[in-house]
């Protein structure tokens, strides 16, 4: 399946959802995941079905939004849309690999929706096997409103999880790096070794464990 490449600037709009609705698709879900790159913690995915009449304004790729903007949009998305959220933990990531974990998290997020979509719009070019039609969209989190909403939900949920882990493992700086490889994180990993939530299959963690 070829990924759709939408023209124009990287901004989230409802144009794709409206076009699909005109073609007869009644329920359209946007799906995205967060957490492929970190050395610790889960990968989290969200599936969002927006009400186009009530969709929050300002939806964009979660990475370009401020913390305050993400938190505000997160609450507005939950209040106006149908949302499914799922995660795959670090232990399962080590068993099945991060690609398969990301695809599994997206499948679980869709299954967690309170409705069955007619079609799912998925960020990127690697489609999960879903029980509905799937379209992958390169940079969809920056262009398609429902995917942007999913990216915001997934990031807020994962960031909150990592900040809670920071209370038990403060040395690694999870409250700020949320598990990504920052200088503070790598230094703590070298000094203390991995904690219970590190991904042992990831090279920087595996190398510490082997030294």
The answer to whether position 33 is within a domain reads: yes
pLDDT-based confidence at residue 180 (cuts at 50, 70, 90): very high
pLDDT at 81 over 60: yes
Range of the domain at 98: 15-164
Q: How many C-beta neighbours within 10 Å does residue 169 have?
A: 18
CATH number at residue 122: 3.30.420.10
The answer to whether position 181 is within a domain reads: no
Q: How many domains does the chain have?
A: 1
The answer to whether position 3 is within a domain reads: no
pLDDT-based confidence at residue 164 (cuts at 50, 70, 90): very high
The answer to whether position 21 is within a domain reads: yes
Q: Which residues contact 153 (CB under 8 A, 6 or more apart)?
A: 46, 48, 74, 77, 78, 83, 85
Under 8 Å between Cβ of 189 and 210: no
The answer to whether position 101 is within a domain reads: yes
Average pLDDT for 110-117: 96
pLDDT-based confidence at residue 5 (cuts at 50, 70, 90): very low
CA dihedral in degrees (128, 130, 133, 134; nearest 10)? -20
pLDDT value of residue 2? 41
């Amino acid at each position: 399946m070829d990924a759709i490449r939408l023209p124009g600037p990287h901004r989230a709009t409802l144009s794709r959802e409206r076009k699909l609705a005109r073609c007869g698709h009644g329920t359209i879900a946007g799906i995205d995941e967060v957490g492929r790159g970190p050395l610790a913690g889960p990968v989290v995915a969200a599936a969002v079905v927006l009400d186009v009449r009530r969709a929050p304004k300002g939806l964009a790729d979660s990475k370009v939004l401020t913390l305050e903007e993400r938190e505000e949009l997160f609450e507005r998305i939950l209040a106006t849309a149908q949302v499914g959220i799922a995660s795959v933990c670090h232990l399962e990531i080590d068993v099945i690999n991060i690609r398969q974990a990301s695809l599994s998290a997206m499948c679980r997020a869709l299954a967690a929706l309170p409705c069955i979509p007619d079609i799912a719009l998925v960020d990127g070019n690697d489609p999960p096997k879903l029980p509905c039609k799937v379209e992958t969209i390169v940079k969809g989190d920056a262009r398609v409103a429902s995917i942007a909403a999913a990216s915001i939900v997934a990031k807020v949920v994962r960031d909150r999880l990592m900040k809670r882990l920071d209370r038990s493992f403060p040395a690694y700086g999870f409250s700020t790096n949320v598990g990504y490889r920052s200088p503070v994180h790598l230094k703590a990993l070298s000094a203390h070794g991995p904690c219970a939530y590190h991904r042992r299959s990831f090279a920087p963690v595996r190398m510490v464990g082997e030294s």
